[in-house]
Amino acid sequence: MTTGVTLNQGSGARESLKPLEGKVAIVTGSTSGIGLGIAKGLAAQGCAVVLNGLGEAQAIENDRVALEQEAQVTVRYHSADMMDPAAIRDLVRFTVEKLGSADIIVNNAGIQYTAPCEEFPDEKWDAILAINLSSAFHLAKAALPEMKRRNWGRIINVASVHGLVASAEKAAYVAAKHGLIGLTKVIALECAATGVTCNAICPGWVRTPLVEAQIQAIAKKNGLTIEEATNELLSEKQPSQRFTEVEHLAAMAVFLCSDAASNITGTQQVLDGGWTAR
């Protein structure tokens, strides 16, 4: 495995400049948006990464190669379907076989659908719960035994402010994210006496493809420009009137993987521009 940048001192000693060098991360939903941003943040700190998610095969390969070359770490891709527990287990097996361990798990895969509760399609409810919540359980379940054996691990669940508060017409998403916060706390308690931590990151509005689709829907519904729809989206919930940046979430994930965060577990790290302070 290619390692990170090093500093050779006069004595011949080798001192790593990258604090996560030698660690291996699985980041789900990492072919775009928040997941790709977190994968880049971890790789920049010397962490090998396994990407996972949907997209056009050549575009995914281009991103994989670019990240590998930029960060000088090993980057692999696995196409595990987050609705399939067997595929999720295979993702962990693949990571351990190819890269030697699965030290960091970032459960980021997620989908969205909006409709009033009485009109919410059953199949959309089932898919959102499976991908946004159950996949995190299955991935943690598969990775935890080896993390505990090695007495080191980081599980980071990308939840949302919707894991803490609700919005209308998002029954499945809010239920899944609240469930993800609960799962985070349970894993944290079960691992509290070990070197394994589990925390959630709860962003407010981040300008990802998922949020972009909501902006376009607001514009279409209310006859607004994209700029007007963006302002309407932010003003309704996020007092800062600014999107949380993907890079902010990546930096938080890197921090939660650091030694400084070794006694931080079971928490919700909120990056929401004041949304939940109301």
Contact indicator for 72, 4 with CB cutoff of 8 Å: yes
Contact indicator for 114, 170 with CB cutoff of 8 Å: yes
Q: If we measure between CA atoms, which residue out of 188, 205, 177, 162 comes closest to residue 256?
A: 188
What's 50's DSSP letter? Answer: E
Alpha-carbon gap, residue 208 to 232, rounded angstroms: 17
Catalytic residue among 94, 125, 173, 205: 173
Structure tokens at 158: 């990308």
Check if 77 is active-site.
Answer: no
Output the CA torsion 81→31→155→130 (10° steps): -30
N-terminal to C-terminal alpha carbon distance within the chain: 47
Residues taking part in catalysis: 173
